[in-house]
């Protein structure tokens, strides 16, 4: 839970939506704590999900550019200057979209040059997520096969259109919109933080200054996909637990 939140998140209407969402999807919620930053952070640790986490998928996008991999801090003896050079031309942004699940981790991902528009996001769902989710349902335990699958997304315009709802519905999933300004309930935020941390601290091949910027961007996109592949399902289950979606007591037939 952040110690600083946007003013918009504290507007009465948005707080009401956050309380309603929390009461709908979690138990153990103290509605009076929502909107009080420290109290809400403590209260969220007690929440338990109403729905089995295997039925909850989350999505989000994040931007990457040529400066994403730069280390933010350098440790040197006092008085010495850092010898490293820094890329100042970040180039055009690249956008990575992911869908994550509690059981299988990152189940769909795609990176493109520039930002996602509705057409791009719908095509991504049709090509990458929907084929997965159709097969996934058949692998669930019998008591879950007919249950509703939630597709959790924030309120970005590309996520909430009727075309998105129709594509998801045809694949057997239901769009579930997070309340405004509530990233604490989207474990994708933790995935992106993990990914960018890996990129800043990991090894990467030296790129000569003479290499064209388009080639550098292609190399960056490959590294993004490679580092994201290192984030395993167990790690993502930890993020689900942190965001309360993963705190669900297993049914008796799964406990064994």
Which CATH number covers residue 116?
A: 3.30.420.10
**Looking at the 3D structure of the chain, how many domains does it have?**
2
DSSP secondary structure code for residue 30 in this structure: -
- Do both 233 and 106 map to the same domain? yes
Closest to 128 measured CA to CA, from 154, 152, 150, 96: 96
Q: Which residue has the tokens 């290499």?
A: 211
Ranges of H-type helices in 63-187: 118-124, 130-138, 162-170
Walk across the sheet containing 56-64 and list its strands.
105-113, 94-101, 56-64, 149-153, 173-177
- Do both 59 and 26 map to the same domain? no
- Do both 3 and 121 map to the same domain? no
- Do both 105 and 138 map to the same domain? yes
Boundaries of domain holding 31 = 1-49
- Cβ-contact 179, 48 below 8 angstroms: no
The string of pLDDT tens digits covering residues 173-213 is: 999 999 988 889 999 999 999 999 998 887 665 554 556 77
Q: Compute CA distances 45 → 39, 96, 186, 217, 242, whole Å.
A: 10, 29, 15, 40, 8
> Is position 214 within any domain?
yes
Q: What is the mean pLDDT of each run of 10 residues along the chain (256 residues)?
A: 57 90 96 90 94 97 85 65 58 91 98 95 98 96 95 95 97 95 92 93 60 79 94 98 92 56
pLDDT of residue 1: 46
At residue 164's C-alpha, the angle toward residues 160 and 166, to 5°, is 125
Quick one: how far is CA 28 from the chain centroid?
Answer: 24
């Amino acid at each position: 839970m952040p110690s600083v939140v946007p003013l918009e998140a504290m507007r009465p209407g948005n707080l009401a939506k956050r309380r309603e969402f929390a009461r709908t999807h979690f138990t153990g919620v103290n509605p009076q704590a929502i909107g009080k930053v420290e109290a809400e952070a403590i209260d969220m640790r007690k929440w338990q999900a109403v729905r089995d986490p295997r039925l909850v998928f989350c999505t989000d996008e994040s931007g990457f550019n040529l400066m994403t991999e730069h280390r933010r801090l350098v440790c040197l003896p006092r008085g010495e200057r850092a010898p490293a050079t820094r890329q100042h031309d970040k180039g055009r942004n690249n956008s990575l979209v992911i869908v994550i699940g509690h059981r299988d981790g990152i189940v769909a991902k795609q990176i493109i040059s520039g930002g996602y528009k509705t057409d791009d996001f719908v095509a991504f769902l049709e090509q990458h997520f929907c084929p997965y989710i159709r097969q996934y349902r058949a692998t669930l335990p019998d008591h879950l096969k007919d249950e509703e699958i939630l597709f959790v997304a924030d309120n970005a315009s590309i996520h909430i259109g009727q075309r998105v709802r129709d594509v998801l519905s045809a694949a057997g999933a239901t769009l579930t919109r997070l309340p405004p300004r509530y990233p604490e309930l989207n474990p994708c935020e933790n995935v992106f933080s993990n990914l960018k941390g890996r990129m800043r601290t990991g090894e990467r091949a030296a790129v000569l200054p003479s290499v064209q910027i388009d080639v550098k961007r292609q190399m960056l996109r490959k590294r993004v996909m490679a580092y994201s592949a290192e984030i395993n399902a167990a790690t993502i289950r930890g993020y689900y637990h942190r965001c309360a979606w993963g705190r669900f007591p297993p049914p008796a037939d799964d406990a064994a």
